[in-house]
Amino acid sequence: MPEGDTVFRTARRLDAALAGATVTRFELRVPQAATIDLRGEVVHGVVSRGKHLLHRIGSWTLHTHLKMEGEWHVYRRGDRWRAPGFRARAVIGATAPDGTEWETVGFDLADIKVVPTADEDDLVGYLGPDPLSDSWDPVEAALRLAADPRAVHVALQDQRSIAGFGNEYVNEILFVRGILPTTPANETDAAAIVDLGARMIRANRNRSGRTFTGDERPGRSTWVYRREGRPCRRCGTLIRGGSLGADPTRERIVFWCPVCQR
């Protein structure tokens, strides 16, 4: 699933094309929203909230989620789409103030809804603080994490505590902090975890290739994620792998060094 930095970059790319533009085409290819038409409305902006995308158009908000396979593309009108049309779930055409005609297409999207902008919190109000947001509140994020008795690997991925961290970030954060993934979150230094995670995701938000080690070369960008059975980059011990989740239906792959993480 795309993590918060990927969604942030997607929102920024969409906002650069659509902010201030007038909608000329608006198609939502899902039954529950297929009749909604926002043509003629002005796009105020596109923002991310954790892993959620919010198009603010007129007095309405289009909410979408990328889930595992979703993506938004930005085209000049008339350009050929880089994915087949049958995968398109949303199409927004718009004319910018300078006359440029844009077409943005959402492929394989999930959770598509349109609500009055005043009611956005009905959809995303449950989310915890977002480290990529201007309203980032690290104290509140640490308080939420510190109150969770579950395994820290599970707690850190709970979007109600902190919005934006996914499985890759969580594995890497816990390695750098030297924390075993099964450690109860309320027995960790939550403030230090939150601070490190925020610095990591902010460092990656402008990169085309995410890295946690500082090395962007293929195969060198992570400390433990997807490195099961390979030597730890710090101590040489073989990285272990397994799975953890809030319940059996939500398990995620987990990786750790048995020496560096205790």
Query: Is 67 part of the annotated catalytic residue set?
Result: no
Which token pair is 99?
Answer: 């006359």
51 is catalytic: yes
CA gap 37, 117 in Å, rounded: 15
- Among candidate residues 3, 120, 168, 172, the one labeled active-site is 3
Catalytic residue among 41, 51, 103, 258: 51
Give yes or no: 3 in active site. yes
CA distance 103 to 206: 23
Query: Of residues 2, 129, 131, 181, which has the active-site annotation?
Result: 2
Report how far apart, in Å, the C-alpha atoms of 98 and of each of 7, 201, 241 are.
26, 34, 53
The catalytic residue positions are 2-3, 51
